[in-house]
Each structure stands twice: as structure tokens, then as C-alpha cells.
């Protein structure tokens, strides 16, 4: 399973599932420069290989392995590939982080071709990324089964993320407002109009005075396109991106 390191319980839950379900598990740790659209985010991304390897030593078995390539190993030559993920990349993270998913596609394609796994374990924390990688495996005709894994949260509801380490104590205290607002909207979905829910989520998150909402979207789970109204037959998810000081946080919940 691919990671960018600074491992936390969210990563470890995916690794545990893989270890339980497979004969051999490969974990990669690679902070992929070409998926960062913001140079300061790349520079400040938490890195702690020593601690990561100690955590993995406790989880992995004899035949498992950790792959920690260097940037020049992954990209010996300039990369020119341009993927077309179509409508999946014109919304949400794709819209606000230009080039991000192309960089994700390139690195995941390379990792999958190096490791040749039967299955890849991916977290629903990055739900749009999961959809992009599903599409990537079709484009590249990679015979790998995608195993989606649920979001692991802190006891106060904040979705675990390596970037949480970079929150100031004040922003860390405010951040659980994100999941609280999402949960409340999920419970009220059938009784309120979507525009009203989006405004309320935004207001609740921004009422902290420390968090700034970038987007709130209710989208169809398969197409990731915005839904206009409540329809029982549709699987809907609500997604948010929030700026918490210098740190950008994302989260999502299944509605209903």
C-alpha cells in the first residue's frame, strides 16, 4: 500500500487489513513531489522515517517489505505523462489542486508496476483519490483489486492525517468542528435542501473563527458529480476542504 509516511493509526489500519488478508504486504513510503501543487506544503510535509520503520517493524511479518525509493529512483527522467481522468478530476481536489491527480496517477502507476500487487489498500479519507486510482487501473489495464478502507478518526472525530501534526494547538482544538458539521448534515439530509445544508456546514465550521472552508460538495459516490436534490436511489457523499491556518484539511462522510 502506498503512503507518504508520517504514519498514523489511519495508515496502520490499512496495513493491518492487508497483513490479515494477504501472504505478503508491501508498504511504500515516498513523499511524491509531483503531486504537491503548493511548494511550501511539500517542504513542510512531516517526515520521520525512523519512527515509521519502528511502527512497521511491529506490524509486518517476515515476507513483507517496505519500499522507500528516492526521488531520482522514481523519476530518473523528467515526467511528461498526462492522464485524462475526465470529470473525476474537474471537481473538488482536482479543481482546487491543479496537477495533483496527474502526479498521483504517475506515482501510483509506477509503484504498481514495480510491486505488481494483487490488491491495493486505499483509505476513504482520500475518496476522490480512490476513484482516480480506480480509473487509473482501467486506463493502464493494471490487474489489481482495489480494497477501500474506512476513515480512521481521533476520539474527537478529526480524521487522522499526517498533516494534523502541523496544526497549532488552537487549530487542533477547532478542527473537530469539521466532522461535527458533516455528521449533523448527514442526519438532516432528507429533510433539508442541499444549498441550505452547504451554507449551514460552512457557517458551523467557520464559526470557530479559525477554520476557512474552501469547498463543501454533495456528490454522487460513483461519478463524483454534484447532486442537485435528495434522491433515495443515489449513494451520496459530502466532501469538505478546510484551511486551518497553514494546514489544509479534507474530510468526507457517506450520507444516510
Residues classed as catalytic: 11
Q: How far apart are the first and last CA of the chain?
A: 29
Residue nearest ligand AMP (C-beta atom): 123
Report how far residue 237's alpha carbon sits from residue 222's, in angstroms, rounded to the nearest whole number. Answer: 10
* Residue 151: CB minimum distance to ligand AMP, A: 4
- R_g of the chain, CA atoms, integer Å: 18
Q: Report the half-sphere exposure of 130 (CA within 13 A, side-chain side).
A: 20
DSSP label of 226: B
List the one residue out of 84, 72, 89, 87 whose CA is nearest residue 33: 72
Q: Which of residues 10 and 105 has its CB atom nearest to ligand AMP in the complex?
A: 10
Q: Which residues contact 187 (CB under 8 A, 6 or more apart)?
A: none
* Residue 58: CB minimum distance to ligand AMP, A: 18
Q: Which of residues 4 and 132 has its CB atom nearest to ligand AMP in the complex?
A: 4
Q: Are strands 145-149 and 119-123 parallel, antiparallel or unpaired?
A: parallel
Q: Which residues contact 39 (CB under 8 A, 6 or more apart)?
A: none
How far, in Å, are 43, 89, 236 from residue 251 at the CA level? Answer: 23, 17, 14
* Residue 209: CB minimum distance to ligand AMP, A: 25
Q: Which of residues 107 and 197 has its CB atom nearest to ligand AMP in the complex?
A: 107
Given the rule CB under 6 A, which residues bind ligand AMP? Answer: 3-4, 10-11, 14, 122-123, 125-126, 149, 151-152, 159-162
* Residue 180: CB minimum distance to ligand AMP, A: 17
Q: Which of residues 4 and 60 has its CB atom nearest to ligand AMP in the complex?
A: 4
How far, in Å, are 30, 124, 220 from residue 69 at the CA level? Answer: 6, 25, 36
Q: Which of residues 158 and 210 has its CB atom nearest to ligand AMP in the complex?
A: 158
* Residue 127: CB minimum distance to ligand AMP, A: 8
Amino acid at each position: 500500500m502506498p503512503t507518504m509516511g508520517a504514519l498514523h493509526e489511519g495508515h496502520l489500519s490499512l496495513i493491518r487489513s492487508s497483513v490479515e488478508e494477504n501472504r505478503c504486504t508491501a508498504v511504500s513510503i515516498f513523499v511524491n513531489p509531483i503531486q504537491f501543487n503548493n511548494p511550501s506544503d511539500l517542504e513542510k510535509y512531516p517526515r520521520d522515517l525512523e519512527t515509521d520503520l519502528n511502527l512497521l517493524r511491529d506490524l509486518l511479518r517476515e515476507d513483507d517489505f517496505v519500499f522507500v525509493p528516492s526521488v531520482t529512483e522514481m523519476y530518473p527522467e523528467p515526467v511528461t505523462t498526462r492522464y485524462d481522468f475526465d470529470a473525476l478530476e474537474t471537481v473538488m481536489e482536482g479543481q482546487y489542486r491543479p496537477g495533483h491527480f496527474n502526479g498521483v496517477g504517475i506515482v501510483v502507476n509506477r509503484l504498481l508496476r514495480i510491486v505488481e500487487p494483487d490488491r491495493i489498500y486505499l483509505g476513504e479519507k482520500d475518496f476522490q483519490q480512490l476513484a482516480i486510482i480506480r480509473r487509473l487501473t482501467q486506463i493502464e489495464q493494471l490487474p489489481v483489486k482495489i480494497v477501500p478502507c474506512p476513515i480512521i478518526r481521533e476520539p474527537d472525530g478529526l480524521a487522522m492525517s499526517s498533516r494534523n501534526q502541523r496544526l497549532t494547538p488552537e487549530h487542533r482544538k477547532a478542527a473537530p468542528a469539521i466532522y461535527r458539521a458533516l455528521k449533523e448534515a448527514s442526519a438532516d439530509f432528507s429533510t433539508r435542501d442541499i444549498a441550505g445544508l452547504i451554507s449551514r456546514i460552512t457557517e458551523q465550521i467557520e464559526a470557530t473563527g479559525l477554520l476557512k472552508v474552501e469547498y463543501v460538495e454533495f456528490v454522487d459516490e460513483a461519478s463524483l458529480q454534484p447532486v442537485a436534490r435528495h434522491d433515495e436511489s443515489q449513494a451520496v457523499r459530502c466532501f469538505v476542504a478546510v484551511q486551518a491556518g497553514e494546514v489544509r484539511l479534507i474530510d468526507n462522510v457517506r450520507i444516510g
